[in-house]
Amino acid sequence: MSDDRPTDPDSIALAVEAAIERDDVDELRRLAAAGSSDAEDVLVELAAERGDLAELRRLAAAGNTDAVDELVELEEEGEEEEDEE
């Protein structure tokens, strides 16, 4: 069984763009796991937009500092909303 994953930077960039257009989070995860920082950045952005704490935690646990920053920001926003109640 051959591995159809792209290996050169241009092909990886195209694969990331295609996954974004298809909203294919699983493919973005595969590309990120294979080392695509662009795919990882998109995953962080999507998770932050959706408020997906589980995804942000997964990315943060894998060492993504942007995911950590987003988690802190979402936590602070949550605390502000609690204070307003």
Whether residue 60 contacts residue 68, with contact meaning beta carbons closer than 8 Å, is answered with: yes
Task: Judge whether residue 8 has pLDDT over 90.
Answer: no
Q: Give the mean pLDDT of the chain.
A: 89
Q: Render pLDDT for 12-52 as a digit per residue (tens, 0 to 9).
A: 899 999 999 999 999 999 999 988 999 999 999 999 999 89
Model confidence at 2, pLDDT cuts 50, 70, 90, reads very low
What pTM did the predictor assign? 0.81
What is the rounded CA–CA span in Å between residue 20 and residue 22?
5
Report DSSP letters for 8-77, one per residue: SHHHHHHHHHHHHHTT-HHHHHHHHHTT-HHHHHHHHHHHHHHT-HHHHHHHHHTT-HHHHHHHHHHHHH
Task: Give domain limits for the chain.
Answer: 9-84
